[in-house]
A and B are shown apart, each in its own frame.
Chain A
Amino acid sequence: MAQVILKDVVKNYGDVYAVNHVSLTVEDGEFVALVGPSGCGKTTTLNLVAGLIPMSGGSISIGDRDVTDLDPKDRDIAMVFQNYALYPQKSVYKNLAFPLQMRKLPKDEIDKRVQAAAKTLDIVHLLERKPRELSGGQQQRVALGRALVREPRAFLMDEPLSNLDAKLRVQMRSEIKRFHQDLNATIIYVTHDQLEAVTMSDKMAVMNGGFLQQYDSPANVFANPVNMFVASFVGSPAMSLVPLTAASKDGKVVLQSPEGWEMPLSDANGRKALRAKSSKVVLGGRHSTIKVHKSSVPGAVPGKVYTVEPTGDVTFAQVFVSGAVVNVSVAPTFQLRPDEPVFVEFDQERLHLFDGETEMALKLA
């Protein structure tokens, strides 16, 4: 296994930048998730690492080799595709053997490796079957096997679980994680599902509009999103964002809503709010850090219940606060009705503040 380094990687089609100056380092044995909405450039980035499309600028190295100008077959990587991309006319055995045959390995070595991979992935009993005779999960395992036999320096996975049903996806998620742990493999994993990224990866690279937004551990991305996009993309339900105006009042900083209410900020948060380019500040909070009250308490702001979604363990609700939707969670015993006026209280220690102009997180210097 090896380290993968992307330096200032660019892919543009005329004026459209699919990948815009992305730099990141995947350490040896690390599981990195490239995550973002459709068209954010994550799959293009993966294809650039694989060498399947030519780069417009920058460089990529795998291990100690610069592979920027190498063909895919010379990069020593293996790829797993969303639709598995198994060769339909070949048996499972021949699918697994194919990359080794292409490398002209001796027959007994091929057989040894195919059997070993099949054993690892528990598909020995499927070796003589054709791909169309397999279930989605089995096909996915064969696809993993075909990547595994190569003993590559890095695995590239392009939404490998998207075609599976919800239950199987959860199961294969842990299998791929196990696969990573057992092999200590370097994996770059593309997904649009932030939950997959958070649960599986050592580090996640959040992309949007071709730009790398944030590259950090899932915990850090979750706790300290660098901007409003990351804040609203990671987490389920997403972080709620309420656009407000910051103002100083009696030596304290408060957030004012156009409806007339004010929310005082702690000293630290007040200093953050003042660092914004203008008075426009966006208040952010995750559902778990927001309390809901039936009557007014100091620091809480007024809102109106929009929907209530009981899930059993916890009841989620959407509350309109100053025209924005705020996701909150309450105990199932806490009764909420649609259109009921409530008061929501943001935890000063855990709320987020963003610059309304630049959409960047506001931090203390």
Chain B
Amino acid sequence: MWNSRFDYLYVAPAILVMLIVIGYPIYYTIELSFFNTPASLALSAKQFNGLDNYATILTSPIFWKVTWQTVVWTVVSTFFAFVLGLGAALALHREFVGRGFLRALLLIPWVVSAVAASYVWKWLYHSDFGAISAMLSGLGLIDRPINFIDNTSTSLYALIVVNVWKEFSFAMIMLMAGLQTVPDTLLRAAQVDGASPWQRFWHVTFPHLSGVSMVTLLLLAVQNFNSFIIPWIMTGGGPAGSSDIWITHIYQLAFGRQRWGVASAYAVILFIVMMVLGYFYVRALTKGDDARAGA
């Protein structure tokens, strides 16, 4: 009894800090989402309006456009980051000369600051003096520079390329760690049993990676739903909202247009989505524990 009382005492400071910096803002955001707020910081003048903010959001075509763009952004980014990461992990799992160097090289995107990377890519994409257009026209593949990010039909995909480039290293690291856990004798057994390299991957390696793959996919998805830096710096959600995703849109609503109530309602919706993903993440993690405990 005494022991457990002391345990609570030990975690009390951490809980107190979390309540102040996380708990209270969450509460306040939820509260604000039910209020009509003035376009100023005079929030004491807010007026309760029930679910009006939610109704406004859910009936607005922009919400559905941004949601669709967020889903595209998240799903496409997550898929390609995972596939590229898996490919890189498998390639780097074999031993060859220069493996360490290549491994370090492929880690660079993940290590560099997202802000710096965004500016570099913005420059690479630039329609007038961007390196990519210059290279392509130098090779004679295009007549005039491509407008990657100042074009409503390509901006989102141009950003996804940057995002995938930025985070595939993360998937690579996770999957490389997963590959280490594949027992060598199992691969040998499969080899003797007559499995081709592809069959060995499918029957032995891939099942061993299922746990870490699940966790990686969920972490990538959460990270992508919450993306802000790359789209904000490179396009600010534009042009004409064509690369707007939830977080950039919420930021714009709150700090650009001071629509605190609506922005808060947006944030609450995003929060619910993230909690659902979080639930699956925790379940994937603990399921792995149960499987190991049962082994």
> A residues engaging B (CB < 8 A)?
50, 52, 71-73, 77-79, 81-83, 85, 87-90, 98-99, 102-103, 132, 146, 150
Distance, CA A81 to CA B204, complexed state (A):
16
Apart from A87-B190, A98-B203, A99-B192: 5 A-B pairs, beta carbons within 8 A: A72-B192, A72-B194, A73-B193, A88-B208, A132-B294
Stretch at the interface among B181-189, B222-230, B260-268, B275-283: B181-189
Known contacts A89-B207, A98-B203; is-contact A83 B192 (Cβ 8 Å): no
Question: B204, A72: Cβ atoms under 8 Å?
Answer: no
Question: B192, A98: Cβ atoms under 8 Å?
Answer: no
Distance, CA A90 to CA B208, complexed state (A):
12
Distance, CA A55 to CA B175, complexed state (A):
32
A50, A98, A146, A150, most chain B CB atoms within 10 A: A98
- Whether, in the assembled complex, B199 has its beta carbon less than 8 Å from a beta carbon of chain A, the answer is yes
- Whether, in the assembled complex, B191 has its beta carbon less than 8 Å from a beta carbon of chain A, the answer is yes
Question: B199, A102: Cβ atoms under 8 Å?
Answer: yes
Question: A85, B207: Cβ atoms under 8 Å?
Answer: no
- Whether, in the assembled complex, B21 has its beta carbon less than 8 Å from a beta carbon of chain A, the answer is no
Question: B294, A77: Cβ atoms under 8 Å?
Answer: no
In the complex, what residues of B have CB within 8 A of residue A85's CB? 183, 185-186, 188-189
Question: B193, A81: Cβ atoms under 8 Å?
Answer: no
Closest 8 CB pairs between A and B?
A73-B194, A102-B194, A99-B193, A85-B189, A89-B207, A85-B185, A79-B192, A132-B295
In the complex, what residues of A have CB within 8 A of residue B195's CB? 73, 98, 102
In the complex, what residues of B have CB within 8 A of residue A146's CB? 189, 193
**CB closest chain-B residue, reference A50:** B192
Distance, CA A66 to CA B208, complexed state (A):
36
Question: B203, A87: Cβ atoms under 8 Å?
Answer: yes
- Distance in angstroms from B295 CB to nearest chain A CB is 5
- Distance in angstroms from B202 CB to nearest chain A CB is 11
Distance, CA A90 to CA B199, complexed state (A):
14
B186, B193, B204, most chain A CB atoms within 10 A: B193
Distance, CA A176 to CA B203, complexed state (A):
28
In the complex, what residues of A have CB within 8 A of residue B199's CB? 102
Total interface residues on B, CB under 8 Å, equals 18
Question: B194, A103: Cβ atoms under 8 Å?
Answer: yes
**CB closest chain-A residue, reference B187:** A85
Distance, CA A330 to CA B204, complexed state (A):
55
Distance, CA A72 to CA B188, complexed state (A):
9
- Distance in angstroms from B117 CB to nearest chain A CB is 39
Known contacts A87-B203, A87-B204, A132-B294; is-contact A98 B185 (Cβ 8 Å): no
Question: A83, B183: Cβ atoms under 8 Å?
Answer: yes
Question: B194, A52: Cβ atoms under 8 Å?
Answer: no
Question: B185, A73: Cβ atoms under 8 Å?
Answer: no
**CB closest chain-B residue, reference A80:** B189
A79, A83, A102, most chain B CB atoms within 10 A: A102
**CB closest chain-A residue, reference B295:** A132
30 A-B pairs with C-beta separation under 8 A: A50-B188, A52-B188, A52-B191, A52-B192, A72-B191, A72-B194, A73-B191, A73-B193, A77-B192, A79-B188, A79-B189, A82-B185, A83-B185, A85-B186, A87-B189, A87-B190, A87-B207, A88-B207, A88-B208, A88-B295, A89-B207, A90-B203, A98-B193, A99-B192, A99-B193, A99-B194, A102-B199, A132-B294, A146-B193, A150-B193
In the complex, what residues of A have CB within 8 A of residue B194's CB? 72-73, 99, 102-103
In the complex, what residues of A have CB within 8 A of residue B192's CB? 50, 52, 72-73, 77-79, 99
In the complex, what residues of B have CB within 8 A of residue A78's CB? 192
In the complex, what residues of A have CB within 8 A of residue B190's CB? 87, 98
Which positions 87-126 of chain B face chain A at CB distance < 8 Å? none
- Distance in angstroms from B200 CB to nearest chain A CB is 10
**Digit string of B142-180 for contact with A (CB within 8 Å is 1, else 0)?**
000000000000000000000000000000000000000
Which positions 213-252 of chain B face chain A at CB distance < 8 Å? none
Distance, CA A78 to CA B188, complexed state (A):
11
In the complex, what residues of A have CB within 8 A of residue B188's CB? 50, 52, 79, 81, 85
Distance, CA A52 to CA B190, complexed state (A):
11
In the complex, what residues of A have CB within 8 A of residue B207's CB? 87-89
Distance, CA A71 to CA B190, complexed state (A):
12
